[in-house]
Amino acid sequence: MNLKEQIKKLSELQKIDIQIYNLSLIKNTEKPSELERLKVELKEKEQRLVVTQEELKGLRLRKKEKELDLAAKEENVQKAQAQLYQLKTNKEYQAKLTEISSLKADVAKYEDEVLKALEAIEKAEAKLKEKQEDFTKEENEFSEKETAIKKEIEDVTVEISRFSDKRRILLADVDGDVLSKYDKLIASRSGVAIAPVAGGSCGACHMMLTHQKVNEIKMYKELILCESCVRILYIPEDIEGC
């Protein structure tokens, strides 16, 4: 095959390679990062659930402390009441009664605090239950999305291998040096290695070409590259007939 015929093959190869390039982006970058983003989101939601669980633990601990305080205050009342019968004078008796009344007021205050702690726990439990239900829903949604994304990746992989088979057939006749140059450009030029000249400019970067450059291309003696975007150039009309 002469160079012009090889370039024709490359232009056909390019149509397949841009598909492979775009599909590979989906497979290796877009879909994995979409999945990663969903995982991070779910993890954040789980973290918020853990915070609520910790808050509830704290409230339960505080309630226990209040109950211990209350028990101590009740014991004080009992002690004071026991002392009442050992007192000799009416004055001492009256003083103890006053003390007991103040201790009882203390008990009432702590009872109130225990009750408030209990209410706070009930509120937090309701909030936690709601969050747990939401999180379960979110987990299910995540796993549905994860399955869908994995399926998309599988489908894209099948498509890539179909294009790769076509590619193998096409490139069989292309000269090794030409192909290796083309492949390097595919890898380094966002999947576009060869560009048609359109209206006197490069079809990839639209840089205007000089007459001399166009004449060099038309000779098809060697691969001519765009000076701006460094891609192989060809004239579409030239390769149509070969």
Point out which residues bind Zn ion (CB under 5 A). 202, 204-205, 207, 226, 228-229
Q: Which is nearer to Zn ion, 70 or 204 (CB)?
A: 204
Smallest distance from Zn ion to CB 221, Å = 20
Smallest distance from Zn ion to CB 209, Å = 9
Q: Which is nearer to Zn ion, 124 or 204 (CB)?
A: 204
Helix (H), strand (E) at residue 81:
helix 31-84
Q: Which is nearer to Zn ion, 121 or 205 (CB)?
A: 205
Smallest distance from Zn ion to CB 15, Å = 18
Q: Which is nearer to Zn ion, 202 or 223 (CB)?
A: 202
Smallest distance from Zn ion to CB 227, Å = 8
Contact between 43 and 147 under an 8 Å Cβ cutoff? The reply is no
What Å distances lie between residue 68 and 12, 64, 71, 109, 122, CA to CA?
84, 6, 5, 13, 20
Smallest distance from Zn ion to CB 151, Å = 38
Q: Which is nearer to Zn ion, 26 or 205 (CB)?
A: 205
In degrees, to the nearest 5, what angle opens at C-alpha 108 toward C-alphas 103 and 110? 95
Contact between 224 and 217 under an 8 Å Cβ cutoff? The reply is yes
Taking the C-alpha atoms of residue 233 and residue 224, their distance in angstroms, rounded to an integer, is 6
Taking the C-alpha atoms of residue 8 and residue 239, their distance in angstroms, rounded to an integer, is 6
